[in-house]
Amino acid sequence: MTRFQINANDPHSQARTGTLMTGHGPVQTPAFMPVGTRGSVKGLTPDQLRSTGSTMILANTYHMMIRPGAETVRDLGGLHRLMCWDGPILTDSGGYQVFSLSGLNRIGDEGVQFASHVDGARIYLDAETAIRVQNALGADIIMCFDECAPHPCDEAKLNKAVVRTLRWARQCRAAHENGRQLLFAIVQGGVDLALRSRCAQELMEIDFDGYAIGGLSVGEGHEAMVATVEHTAPLLPREKPRYLMGVGMPADIIAAVRAGVDLFDCVLPTRNGRNAFAFTQDGPIRLRNAAHAGDTAPIERDCPCYCCSNFSRGAIRHLFNVGEMLGPTLLSIHNITFYQRLMADIRRRIQNASFEPWAAEIILRLQAQSGNCRL
């Protein structure tokens, strides 16, 4: 049974707010999940992460399976204890690594054989294994194993990826044994809307606790991504949560919320933070630029985060220039806070019916600013 309640609907779009109940507490949606790939959100303590307003985080099945291993995580008290995080956690299935580590794997209809990126050891991952590992990790939400096709992709290869995704989804449903974990399926199909429709329909016939839209933000561009999400999201059950995987530019998030998406994750806030890029309402800032050397202003004047409350742009630039690890930590705190403030603003605007005019204006402004903030 899916524990998801819709609280408000925007009268002029598909946007909605909701409450997703998990075994480790509620999540107010639309929500953004920081990524803790290897069992930690890079550079941040759990207390620092909580201070940003984050309520749910993500970890990666493939990487946790390799090191320290699912059984070790279980013996250490599960993923929540390992990460010292008492809120909800979502684990992806490892399916994205089928795409991102394509040079190290061989895909078959039954599963994927990897050469470990750590030591080259042979690893076999299939639907049953992905579920067994995620059951052992103990996350609140787990994902079906899927195949994410590259972009561009020829029709035959894209169709085969959808067929495998559907096959593996059925196997995942059958293998899932932990009723305390919500199991989400993943809709694939690239930017082929007919394939997206087919995949969504067949997944809904199997019946899952929630549905994700995968295979985007792989080079298709903002307009194609938005068109695919606008087509796919309304196909999915209204009463169940919808999750857009790996899409994290602010303009992309707002556009997807308009289409009815509830959950997001992306590495951009922390990856950009580690590279001296800061998100602000006035556009991205490159802190390594000499223009900030004597700047006494915070990253963003109205931001309540620890970084903006205590450090100037000039001080942060110095930390990066001398290689102090505090610099990446401070900008990661700020960037995640920026994202969580954005999500809170989205929820507030949906609830008071002011979301749509704001969204149309802000997307245009953010797109004009976005050229400098992808890394």
Does 243 or 103 have the greater pLDDT score? 243
Q: Which strand (E) or helix (H) includes residue 262?
A: none
Residue 361 CA: distances (Å) to CA of 116, 232, 355:
45, 24, 10
Residue 109 catalytic? no
Would you give the DSSP letter of residue 292?
G
Residue 262 catalytic? no
So what's the architecture of 17-40+56-221 in CATH?
Answer: Alpha-Beta Barrel (3.20)
pLDDT for the residue 210 = 98
Render the burial of 60-76: b for 16+ CB within 10 Å, e for the rest: bbbbbbbeeebeebbee
Nearest to 31 by CA among 48, 13, 16: 16
pLDDT for the residue 104 = 58
- Give per-residue pLDDT as tens, 250-308: 999 999 999 999 999 999 999 999 999 999 999 999 999 999 999 999 999 999 999 99
Catalytic residue, chosen from 47, 154, 265, 302, is 265
- Give per-residue pLDDT as tens, 1-16: 559 999 999 999 999 9
d(CA 4, CA 119): 42
Which pairing describes strands 57-60 and 89-92: parallel, antiparallel, or unpaired?
parallel
d(CA 216, CA 32): 17
C-beta separation of 62 from 112 below 8 A? no
- Give per-residue pLDDT as tens, 184-230: 999 999 999 999 999 999 999 999 999 999 999 999 999 999 999 99
For 29-58, what is the mean pLDDT? 97
Amino acid at 320: F
DSSP 96-120: HHHHHTGGGEEE-SSEEEEE-TTT-
pLDDT for the residue 116 = 73
d(CA 267, CA 246): 8
C-beta separation of 264 from 294 below 8 A? no
Catalytic residue, chosen from 92, 126, 140, 262, is 92
- Give per-residue pLDDT as tens, 63-111: 999 999 999 999 999 999 999 999 999 999 887 776 666 565 678 888 8
